[in-house]
Structure 1
């Protein structure tokens, strides 16, 4: 109950009474379903997608997220609270998404009813003063008024007008598909949003790095990163197995674009299901392997140096290709080697694989070209406890040195190991030996399934057609009136554009007059009233 003092104060100040809950809800609904709000939410959705393209995403490249966090420890807590490492799963992005869909639906549904009534409605009767419309023309003819009106109806119908004759005038209107195109575009936007949501709910996306010569089976445990929709069962992944047989890459050798990749492709041997015959496929960027809705994209490549570690007992405790991740355009790649079984101490190595080894006093060691023309390996060695026995997960691309000490050289400084293929170095203090046996290439593949890809494409196509219709179709009205005068039959033609002020409206009116009264074409009175004088 509103107090008497509050009521008196409002009456004294002239302030309006407060809205009742129902009125407030109605006002809020009208604001939400206005076109202005829909456009604002669409803009917010576009802006909200920007962090997903700028900040590394957990479900796409987890290792890159870890490196970003290590490089920006101050920003990491804030980014995690805002959900910027998984933008499309965040609460705020989902809220914008749902509000946009609700706004569009609430905006479109009432307009459908208005459009349906407009389609069934008859063209409006002719105004009393046609000469006050934006475009107007008159002519005299010896034909009878009935004959002129009949011919006017035929001409207007041929020009795709809806025609209604009433008394001494013919009313016509065309361009109904303009609003249909507008509605179709907005409906397609909703359809695209629904399809995107379906892909997020029932689809999956995984990333995996596969060295050349190795295979992959479509199991969750085989992925480096895996993100599935809320309603998708990871145990029901489509059967798929492939082997990366070869990888070819060609870099531009000279010029302003030196070192940029000219082309790269992976050659796969795959089977769609156990027992199925093997097939081969060459995949490139934007040319994936597609199997029953599942797409295998080639998204990256790099080097995997083959390193062998022998401990102080002479036992081989590590051997094989190790994935190193590119850090720059020259493909200088960082990686880690862990030998937890080494004795007397566990051994850890980290450093860079340099495809074309070079060194200067100013820069130190670096790669001069991304192709493996003169490969080299630059490593630092650590001895101690790798921390793998604690049961806590560790990234294979990071080395935890908190309980390790750097291996020192003869001069007492941390030992820097520089190796060429086939060379080995003996670690001091009887720790063991590190050998660089060679290198292999690896490819990064993205395996994904978006169930609503085809409906999304169809919705986008329909939306573009609707947008073109709303932009290029003109909503236009025309009237033809006849008046009997002593000099003959006076024919008046007038037009009105309902959507925009068109420069072609006057030409359209005079074209209509010339077709209705062809014997007077070119001999008409022309009146162009300004739009503000429209009756």
Structure 2
């Protein structure tokens, strides 16, 4: 039993040592590297799947180690909790010791000041009382105590630099607060992405189903989101001559609070580094792409317009792929409807360039849009109950013969293709879409405050020096006084030698 208690005591002492806290902090930073270098499942599950497929056994091995879910992994959480415990166990005793030191008087003057690292002495024509008074004036701002010794000598003990330990404690408590704030932010925050069409497309933060992807905190169920709406009126992008994006700006309107009831839209120029802040949420502009516009005229004369975003497959030229799907209008029989659904898939080029019959994009701006499309007719599988990507068709339906390709055509703006049953598909051009991210973090103010305190505390702890000074004035039989000055730096920082030299020169000079 005694051995077990000794083991637990030594383990606790080792865990709460400052070197252990620093080691755990280093491990936490090291453990966060995979989260920055590898795709994360919470951000993009598709990229994780592609990465695993490309890297074979190595990718699967990293998956078993939870390297694609770093911040939710057991090992990262264990380091996080151990760091928290280590900091708490380290700081509470240090705070108590610091409190006792602040209340304690400066230590007694050593008997032999000549053994101090810094020492100076002189015989002055002053009384011990005058020497002590001079020391009190010169050491103004120091914590000092005057004492009388048995042989008639008078001493002064002075200390300075307690702010160093104050800064040290502020740094570590702020670091602890930063960890707590991050943890609470992950519990009560949320983040979601959504694509909104320009020229009037709207999004309201009323529920998780309005998002394309949504990552809630551990204590967020999506039923109590901050209420606001965003409308994208227009989008502007400028590019350099090499196609590199120079600036993005979405002209949006937003409403929250009383504006929701009155229908008032407040304009805001949303840019990449200028998020909209409303009702505690931040709305970021992440990127943009293009939506091809197709008008389908069916054999019965009815028309339908499709405007579904296509995703960029080339980040430089914004060449995009996708699928625009249609249900036949006026068809009520489910079986007939399932055999006459349409899907338009292919490639969209904002600035078209043809290499023979192959379409490619030469520039990301929509200067001369064109599409290379494949048209499929049949059962799209949308009634099967299975989830389906808006960017592609169900290849299984093609393999089973339920969905067949009926046309392939390159179309510029306002060009059309006619199918074998008389259906006409016209390409009407493109429209911009923007990708928005909504972030809610109720602790962001605390994170900022603790971050500032971390920097300030570290700066104080590195710049302030702990040092001590002792002065002894011993009276002589001839009426003069031997004055000794000793100094001790409590840190390894340079600079106290010059300060002590100036201080001792002032204390040991004769009266003019």
TM (normalized to structure 1)?
0.83
Partner residue in 1 for 2:179: 193
Query: In 2, are the aligned partners of 1:288 and 1:298 still within 8 Å (CA)?
Result: yes
- How far did residue 183 of structure 1 move? 0.8
- How far did residue 265 of structure 1 move? 1.4
Distance 1:57 1:315 in 2: 46
- How far did residue 297 of structure 1 move? 1.4
Distance 1:420 1:70 in 2: 37
Q: Write the deviation string for residues 459-492 of structure 1: whole angstroms up to 9, x where unpaired.
A: 1112221111111011111111224457843322
> Which residues of structure 2 form unaligned runs of 5+?
329-336
2:509 aligned residue (509, 518, 525):
518
> Which residues of structure 1 form unaligned runs of 5+?
2-18, 410-414, 522-535
Partner residue in 1 for 2:167: 181
- SS at 2:261 equivalent: coil
Partner residue in 1 for 2:247: 263
Matches within 5 A, 1:100-499: 100-156=83-139, 158-167=140-149, 168=153, 169-212=155-198, 213-218=200-205, 219-253=207-241, 258-273=242-257, 274-276=260-262, 277-309=264-296, 319-339=306-326, 344=339, 346-360=341-355, 365-382=359-376, 385-404=379-398, 417-426=409-418, 433-484=424-475, 488-499=480-491
TM-aligned CA distance change 1:128 to 1:84, over 3 Å: same
Partner residue in 2 for 1:527: none
TM-aligned CA distance change 1:98 to 1:451, over 3 Å: same
- SS at 1:275 equivalent: helix
Distance 2:144 2:353 in 1: 79
2:29 paired with 1:46:
yes
Distance 2:40 2:59 in 1: 13
- SS at 2:223 equivalent: helix
TM-aligned CA distance change 1:417 to 1:68, over 3 Å: farther
Distance 1:78 1:339 in 2: 42
- SS at 2:414 equivalent: coil
Q: Write the deviation string for residues 320-355 of structure 1: whole angstroms up to 9, x where unpaired.
A: 243323532222223233446677565544433222
Q: Write the deviation string for residues 241-295 of structure 1: whole angstroms up to 9, x where unpaired.
A: 1211111111123xxxx32222221111222143133322122123222122111
- SS at 1:388 equivalent: coil
Distance 1:445 1:334 in 2: 20
TM-aligned CA distance change 1:71 to 1:382, over 3 Å: farther
- SS at 1:234 equivalent: coil
| 337-346 or 46-55: bigger deviation | 337-346
Distance 1:139 1:201 in 2: 67
Distance 1:321 1:199 in 2: 34
- SS at 2:428 equivalent: strand
Partner residue in 1 for 2:333: none
| 436-445 or 315-324: bigger deviation | 315-324
Q: Write the deviation string for residues 108-137 of structure 1: whole angstroms up to 9, x where unpaired.
A: 111111111211222222223322222222
Q: CA RMSD in A?
A: 3.1
- SS at 1:402 equivalent: helix
Distance 1:305 1:67 in 2: 27
Partner residue in 1 for 2:19: 36
Distance 1:338 1:456 in 2: 46
Query: In 2, are the aligned partners of 1:141 and 1:517 still within 8 Å (CA)?
Result: yes
Aligned residues: 491
- SS at 2:170 equivalent: helix
Q: Write the deviation string for residues 355-413 of structure 1: whole angstroms up to 9, x where unpaired.
A: 2222458x96432222112222233455665443332212223433233169779xxxx
- How far did residue 197 of structure 1 move? 1.4
Q: Write the deviation string for residues 16-48 of structure 1: whole angstroms up to 9, x where unpaired.
A: xxx822222222222222222212221222223
Distance 1:383 1:79 in 2: 42
Distance 2:31 2:375 in 1: 43
